Amino acid sequence: MHRKNYIRNLKKEIQELKEKRNAVILAHNYQRPEIQDIADVLGDSITLSLKAKEINKDIIVYCGVDVQADIAKILNPKKIVLLPDINAKCTMALMLYLKDLKKAKEKYPNSQVLLYTNSPIEMKGYVDRLTTSANIAEVAGRMKTDTIVWASDIHMADYVAEKSGKKVIPISEEVVCPVHNQLSLDDLMDAKERHLQAEVLAHPECLSEIRKKAKHIASTEGILNYCKKSNTNEFIIATENGLLYRLKKEIPNKKFYPASETAICQPMKAITLQRVRDSLKEMKYQVEIPKHILDKAREAIEKSGW
């Protein structure tokens, strides 16, 4: 069978299964183009989380990474949440250990712990506040302590400190998002030389030297919204390259260039049409979260104001 027919048939099968199962498909902005095309809702972590909260269908198929599907389950625990590939695990979250978080909490008893949503589920039962990249400045700013124990990416730790004016202590110096960490100043300067009129837009997970060159720093959805409103016509995008497909599709009159050709998140790309079809057909892989963690995580989200 030709690829075009194969893809068309898969999409048709997914549509039929979706109706039969009373399901909805949520997809992150880093997903493959063909997954973005079949999504009922596209967005960044917070947009999809808030959407998941109000879904009244029976099943949520989450096309993203494990840690994001967990949040959908936490916010709407009565629904079945399916992650189409059990191995779609955020690489950065796998670098975080609960023992380091517990150690930091003991060392700084007067601090509060702020956790990024891209973190292991067992940690979500131990934190004071939870944040996504979109609301990090507000959540950190509203925290009552001057010292924040930060359980995630070291580049974002700097960003939280810059934005909140607080002392931010990362639980480990060895935690980065490999996709944003490999995005170098060399890559960016090269892109800038080739596109002299373009504005640089960066995700908060980028290195501070990249953020300093950016006109605007925002979550993936924040970048999209900025490009829609801006009077500028060309942009260099410093984040995972899946976002470029959505930018080009929704803003066809403007030009978008990747800051790095190699900014690709493999776990995000593990979600394929075939796996979405199989997931709906076989009802796999269902997200399960122990109740005590789920309740504590939801409380942290509520306290964080989202």
Contact of residue 121 among ligand 13P, ligand SF4, none (CB under 5-8 Å per partner type): none
Contact of residue 52 among ligand SF4, ligand 13P, none (CB under 5-8 Å per partner type): none
User: Helices 45-53 and 66-75 sit at what angle, rounded to 10 degrees?
Assistant: 30
* Per CB under 6 A, 132 contacts ligand 13P: yes
Closest contact distance (angstroms) between CB of 117 and ligand SF4 is 10
* Structure-token pair, residue 162: 């810059």
* Per CB under 6 A, 153 contacts ligand 13P: no
Contact of residue 44 among ligand 13P, ligand SF4, none (CB under 5-8 Å per partner type): ligand 13P
Q: Point out which residues bind ligand SF4 (CB under 6 A).
A: 65, 90-92, 118, 177, 179, 240, 265, 267-268
Closest contact distance (angstroms) between CB of 299 and ligand 13P is 21
Residues 300, 129 contacting (CB under 8 angstroms): yes
Q: Pick between residue 21 and residue 100 the one whose CB is nearest to ligand SF4.
A: 100
User: Helices 220-229 and 242-250 sit at what angle, rounded to 10 degrees?
Assistant: 30
Query: Count residues contacting ligand 13P (CB under 6 A)?
Result: 10
Contact of residue 100 among ligand SF4, ligand 13P, none (CB under 5-8 Å per partner type): none
Q: How many CB atoms lie within 10 A of CB 216?
A: 15
Alpha-carbon distance of 37 to 40, in angstroms, equals 9
Q: Which residue from 66, 85, 205, 278 is in contact with ligand 13P, where contact means CB under 6 A?
A: 205
Q: Which residue from 49, 76, 133, 279 is in contact with ligand 13P, where contact means CB under 6 A?
A: 133
Q: Pick between residue 64 and residue 280 the one whose CB is nearest to ligand SF4.
A: 64
Q: Tell me the CA end-to-end span of the chain in Å, nearest whole number.
A: 47
Q: Which ranges constitute the DSSP H helices of 95-153?
A: 98-107, 136-142
Strand order in the sheet with 216-217: 216-217, 199-202, 234-238, 255-258
Phi/psi at 184 (5° precision): -95, 165
Site for ligand 13P in 10-49 (CB under 6 A): 44-45
Listed residue (114, 117, 140) closest to 128, CA to CA:
114
Contact of residue 199 among ligand 13P, ligand SF4, none (CB under 5-8 Å per partner type): none
What residues line the site for ligand 13P (CB under 6 A)?
44-45, 118, 132-134, 177, 205, 219-220
